[in-house]
């Protein structure tokens, strides 16, 4: 990592679980591993990049950092800025940030501003502040963020015993992570640590899919989606800043991009939670939904070795989780009342 090692700001991010999922894998006819990024300190993969980004901010001697965010970047930035002792400003799209992420950003002491607009508009205004020299921007346009996030690629190779999987599948929003992971695995390839490279496979929500649309056109530029919409608020992004890098990752790796519907996302979120015990937020479940769709339509071969990156923890978005379930049954506190509702026990 490109930082002064004596002054690292860290919360011991990374080193996340890598879980073999036989039940789900067998069902789909693939070898499936899940990289559980929700196990990072603030519950998402963003912590990897934020450690490097905030360490850099300290080296540069800035006193104020900021970001626009669909939620997780702001939660992570708030925590790492607190640890570093920096002033932190986060700009969020009003009403579209999941409760857990909002709680984190506020509780770690960031100055939280909601703008009447979507993420893309929020990023535009904070970028203007950064260009005026008012703050140091820690969105994933910041190259040091991506340097930290490439460690997901390093770890997947390490987790597999110094091999590349056939394919890495992940959700794509602002398109930083797919670019970063590709950079990580490519660096290991160029250093001769591995002999193959994975096919980078980016999944987007149907209502916010500028990258998939560009891949369908075979293009290197995107047409921004004006009013992105999806239940997976983390990836409710119409004009991803790292689009070009992401498209290169997909084309250069002979990869794919596919869309999934909100219903497919919510179904896969529950499927993963109930068949493998892994709780993820809706955006992360897009990788599982995408895997299922690509197996069904024959784009993914039987027997492929696949790593799905699940990017954020279930508890990031408690409202969506609760809405997907029946309410608990209320009974009096006695065995008879319990026996009436717990049939067959």
Residue 213 CB, nearest distance to ligand AN7 (Å)?
15
Q: Determine the Cα–Cα distance for residues 299 and 91; give it in Å rounded to an integer.
A: 39
Residue corresponding to tokens 């508890």? 315
Q: Which is nearer to ligand AN7, 50 or 57 (CB)?
A: 50
Closest CA to 243 of 213, 281, 267: 213
Q: Determine the Cα–Cα distance for residues 344 and 324; give it in Å rounded to an integer.
A: 25
42, 55, 257, 311: residue in contact with ligand AN7 (rule CB under 6 A): 311
Only segment of 79-87, 154-162, 165-173, 262-270 that touches ligand AN7 (CB under 6 A): 165-173
Q: Which is nearer to ligand AN7, 24 or 310 (CB)?
A: 310
Q: Which is nearer to ligand AN7, 86 or 243 (CB)?
A: 243
Partnered with residue 115 across adjacent β-strands are: 93
Residue corresponding to tokens 């955006």? 283
| Cβ neighbours of 54 (radius 10 Å) | 32
Residue corresponding to tokens 């070009």? 244
How many Å is the Cα radius of gyration of the chain?
Answer: 20
When asked if residue 151 is in the footprint of ligand AN7 (CB under 6 A), the reply is no
Q: Which is nearer to ligand AN7, 25 or 173 (CB)?
A: 173
Binding mask 211-240 for ligand AN7 (x = CB under 6 A): -----------------------xx-----
Restricting to residues 250-289, which ones interact with ligand AN7 according to CB under 6 A?
Answer: 281, 283-284
Residue 308 CB, nearest distance to ligand AN7 (Å)?
12
Pairing of strands 167-171, 31-36: unpaired
Tell me the two tokens of residue 219. 């293009």
When asked if residue 317 is in the footprint of ligand AN7 (CB under 6 A), the reply is no
Q: Which is nearer to ligand AN7, 104 or 330 (CB)?
A: 104
Residue 98 near residue 71, CB atoms below 8 Å: yes
| Cβ neighbours of 11 (radius 10 Å) | 17
Residue 61 CB, nearest distance to ligand AN7 (Å)?
25
Tell me the two tokens of residue 136. 């140091």
When asked if residue 201 is in the footprint of ligand AN7 (CB under 6 A), the reply is no
Q: Which is nearer to ligand AN7, 157 or 237 (CB)?
A: 237
Tell me the two tokens of residue 100. 């857990």
Count of residues binding ligand AN7 (CB under 6 A)?
21
Q: Which is nearer to ligand AN7, 70 or 212 (CB)?
A: 70
Closest CA to 141 of 224, 73, 241: 241
Q: Determine the Cα–Cα distance for residues 178 and 30; give it in Å rounded to an integer.
A: 21
Closest CA to 311 of 235, 252, 215: 235
Only segment of 13-21, 70-78, 222-230, 289-297 that touches ligand AN7 (CB under 6 A): 70-78
Pairing of strands 64-68, 136-137: parallel
When asked if residue 174 is in the footprint of ligand AN7 (CB under 6 A), the reply is yes
Q: Which is nearer to ligand AN7, 51 or 177 (CB)?
A: 177
Q: What are phi and psi of 75, to 5 degrees?
A: -65, -45
Only segment of 67-75, 128-136, 259-267, 293-301 that touches ligand AN7 (CB under 6 A): 67-75
212, 290, 312, 321: residue in contact with ligand AN7 (rule CB under 6 A): 312
When asked if residue 140 is in the footprint of ligand AN7 (CB under 6 A), the reply is yes
Residues that bind ligand AN7 (CB under 6 A): 44, 69-73, 140, 171-177, 234-235, 281, 283-284, 311-312
């Amino acid at each position: 990592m490109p930082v002064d090692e004596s002054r690292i700001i860290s919360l011991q991010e990374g080193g996340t679980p890598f879980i073999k999922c036989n039940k789900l894998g067998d069902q789909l006819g693939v070898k499936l591993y899940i990289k559980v990024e929700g196990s990072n300190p603030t519950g998402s993969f963003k912590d990897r990049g934020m450690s490097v980004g905030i360490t850099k901010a300290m080296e540069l001697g800035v006193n104020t950092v900021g970001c626009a965010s669909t939620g997780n970047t702001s939660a992570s930035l708030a925590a790492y800025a607190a640890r570093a002792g920096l002033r932190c400003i986060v700009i969020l799209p009003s009403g579209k940030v999941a409760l857990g992420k909002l709680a984190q950003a506020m509780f770690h002491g960031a100055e939280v501003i909601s703008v009447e607009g979507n993420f893309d508009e929020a990023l535009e205004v904070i970028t203007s502040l950064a260009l005026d020299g008012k703050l140091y921007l820690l969105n994933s346009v910041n190259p040091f963020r991506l340097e930290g996030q490439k460690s997901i690629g390093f770890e997947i190779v390490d987790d597999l015993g110094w091999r590349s999987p056939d394919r890495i599948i992940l959700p794509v929003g602002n398109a930083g992570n797919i670019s970063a992971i590709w950079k990580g695995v490519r660096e290991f390839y160029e250093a001769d640590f591995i002999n193959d490279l994975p096919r980078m496979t980016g999944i987007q929500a149907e209502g916010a899919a500028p990258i998939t649309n560009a891949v369908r056109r075979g293009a290197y530029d995107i047409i921004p989606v004006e009013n992105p919409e999806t239940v997976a608020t983390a990836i409710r992004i119409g004009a991803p800043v790292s689009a070009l890098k992401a498209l290169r990752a997909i084309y250069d790796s002979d990869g794919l991009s596919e869309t999934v519907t909100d219903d497919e996302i919510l179904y896969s979120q529950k499927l993963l939670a109930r068949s493998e015990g892994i709780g993820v937020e809706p955006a992360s479940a897009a990788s599982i939904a995408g895997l299922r769709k690509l197996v069904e339509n024959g784009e993914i071969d039987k027997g492929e070795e696949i790593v799905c990156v699940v990017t954020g923890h279930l508890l990031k978005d408690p409202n969506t989780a609760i809405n997907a379930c029946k309410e608990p049954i209320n009974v009096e506190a006695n065995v008879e009342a319990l026996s009436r509702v717990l049939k067959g026990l």
